[in-house]
A and B are shown apart, each in its own frame.
Chain A
Amino acid sequence: MTLGRMGLLAWNIARVTFNGNVSLPGFLEHLYKVIIRCLLPVMAVLLPFGMVMSLQGLDIFALYGTQRMLSSFVAAAIIRELSPVMACVLVAAQGGASIAAELGAMRIKEEIDATEVMAVDSVAHHVAPRFLALVVACPLLDMLGCVSGIAGGYLTAVLMNGEPSGTFVAEMWVMTTWYDLLATVLKSLVFGGIIGLVSSYLGYNARGGAAGVGRAVNDSVVYSVLAFITANYLLTSAIYGGIT
């Protein structure tokens, strides 16, 4: 039931997008807003994550005297897994939640009904630009997350624990390939689609006054994270499971 209606919403978003009914300025405005809103949270989470990875990695590698492997390990972990997942958790918490909040408030205040009464397609006008902006923003923020995560690793390893900077930089790309970069972009695109769809669906169908908006926001974060973490397992298996 819910899935069906969500599918319908997805179909409607796709329809208005391919018919060219989504205004470009509206899309760009939302893209700008979502990136600005998520910029700091993504950096603020990935940076300490990179630092922690480095901290723990040094611990492990010191056991075997292979500290030089640290940077390749940190870069791979961040690019393959941590950055897409953590960046998208933050996008869900910030970008997705604000989609749910905005659409929810518009629904409760009957602005969406008003839009429809004025014979304007509310999906094309309110939902699609937000959805598309979020989907496009995810890979960009993921890239930013990779950079800040690796920077965090560098910070701990080189600046705070005195590992040689040259080794860190040189070893960084030993494990990571173009294939990984493609994979991280693909992952974050898929996650973006999931977050965008879940949060626009919950916001668009909010009911029950102000409390209902709160509930929509709350649920959108929980369900979109649940859904894309599940998808992450499948994607990781599909992308990396084969190259054993």
Chain B
Amino acid sequence: MDSPAGTAQSIIELDGVRKCFGRQVVLDDVTIAFPQNATTAIIGPSGAGKSVLLKHLVGLLYADEGRVSVFGTDMASASTRQLYGIRRRFGMLFQDGALFDSLTVGENVAFPLEHHMPQLSEEERWVKVAEKLGWVGLPGFEKRSISSLSGGQRKRVGLARAIIMEPEVVLFDEPNSGLDPLTSDSIDQLILDMKDRLGITFIIISHDIIGTIKVADYIGMLYEGRLVEYAPTKNFIQSHIPVVRSFLRRNIFGPRDSLNQRKQQAPEQS
């Protein structure tokens, strides 16, 4: 296995994964193992296949070739029951939070509990919700409506919902996208806090190199569907591979560029 962690155990492994949409090759022979109880980030420019990679881990997409194994189960051959069993051990923070607009903040966070732990009483449920909302820095937000939240707050609520079932793995899809630099920093800080508090496996995909270096233990870079570099953070930033160097340079030494890039990638909020 191509694991930079050496002896560290990995619970999620991709082996020679290839994925095409029509003629377009989105993932090309990607082999990677995510070490357990560590934070791994996959970076790369937009359109490099990062989101597609992430969706393979929870069976939202399936590989055309190669093998995706999660908790020792081959995703391609998993039954619906197995798949749902696996997903219950995951939490995922979506790009815009993917919160249900018709529900309040509290109901959104409580949603997985209602469906998977109906044995909990109403009160126990709300205690858990309040605890998680406290962790993400939004205590007392239970009754707020989703439309009243800012972009950063949506992500925090999304994170609270992702961790409510006490998952073993949390996936972050572009946690910094669409945020201003200050809010973006506060989300990075939140991820660090969560890492200390929970000590579970985090997998982050991002195009924001500064935040990534701060939070990740391992970094991989996807470029045009290929995994061009994968190493512990301190080795990664000294990589000699040209595309990695240029990606690092542009993001670290060109704050103006990276600001513009954020703006362009901010999806419409209305």
- In the complex they form, whether A and B have CB atoms below 8 Å apart is answered with yes
User: How many Å from the CB of A212 to the closest CB on chain B?
Assistant: 8
For A, the interface residue count at a CB cutoff of 8 angstroms equals: 5
Chain B interface mostly: loop
Within 8 A of B (CB), among A181-235: 207-209
A99 within 8 A of B: no
* Assembly CA distance A109 to B268 (angstroms): 9
Residues of the A chain whose Cβ atoms lie less than 8 Å from the Cβ of B268: 108-109, 209
Q: Which B-chain residue is minimally distant from A209 (CB atoms)? A: B270
Residues of the B chain whose Cβ atoms lie less than 8 Å from the Cβ of A209: 268, 270
Residues of the B chain whose Cβ atoms lie less than 8 Å from the Cβ of A108: 268, 270
Residues of the B chain whose Cβ atoms lie less than 8 Å from the Cβ of A208: 270
Q: Which B-chain residue is minimally distant from A208 (CB atoms)? A: B270
Chain A interface mostly: loop
Within 8 A of A (CB), among B239-270: 268, 270
Contact with B along A2-20 (1 / 0, CB 8 A): 0000000000000000000
Q: Which B-chain residue is minimally distant from A210 (CB atoms)? A: B268
* Assembly CA distance A237 to B211 (angstroms): 71
User: How many Å from the CB of B87 to the closest CB on chain A?
Assistant: 26
Residues of the B chain whose Cβ atoms lie less than 8 Å from the Cβ of A109: 268
Q: Which A-chain residue is minimally distant from B268 (CB atoms)? A: A209
Residues of the A chain whose Cβ atoms lie less than 8 Å from the Cβ of B270: 108, 207-209
Q: Which A-chain residue is minimally distant from B269 (CB atoms)? A: A209
Contact with A along B191-214 (1 / 0, CB 8 A): 000000000000000000000000
* Assembly CA distance A208 to B147 (angstroms): 12
Q: Which B-chain residue is minimally distant from A207 (CB atoms)? A: B270
User: How many Å from the CB of B151 to the closest CB on chain A?
Assistant: 14
* Assembly CA distance A222 to B268 (angstroms): 28
* Assembly CA distance A91 to B204 (angstroms): 48
Residues of the B chain whose Cβ atoms lie less than 8 Å from the Cβ of A207: 270
Q: Which A-chain residue is minimally distant from B270 (CB atoms)? A: A209
* Assembly CA distance A238 to B270 (angstroms): 47
User: How many Å from the CB of A216 to the closest CB on chain B?
Assistant: 14
User: How many Å from the CB of A215 to the closest CB on chain B?
Assistant: 13
* Assembly CA distance A208 to B270 (angstroms): 6
Within 8 A of B (CB), among A99-155: 108-109
User: How many Å from the CB of A205 to the closest CB on chain B?
Assistant: 14
* Assembly CA distance A109 to B267 (angstroms): 11
* Assembly CA distance A208 to B269 (angstroms): 9
Q: Which B-chain residue is minimally distant from A109 (CB atoms)? A: B268
Q: Which A-chain residue is minimally distant from B267 (CB atoms)? A: A209
Q: Which A-chain residue is minimally distant from B101 (CB atoms)? A: A211
* Assembly CA distance A209 to B270 (angstroms): 5
Sample (5) of A-B pairs whose CB atoms are under 8 Å apart: A108-B268, A109-B268, A208-B270, A209-B268, A209-B270
**Taking beta carbons and an 8 Å cutoff, which residues of A are in contact with B?**
108-109, 207-209
**Taking beta carbons and an 8 Å cutoff, which residues of B are in contact with A?**
268, 270
What 7 A-B pairs come out closest when comparing CB atoms? A209-B270, A209-B268, A208-B270, A108-B268, A108-B270, A207-B270, A109-B268
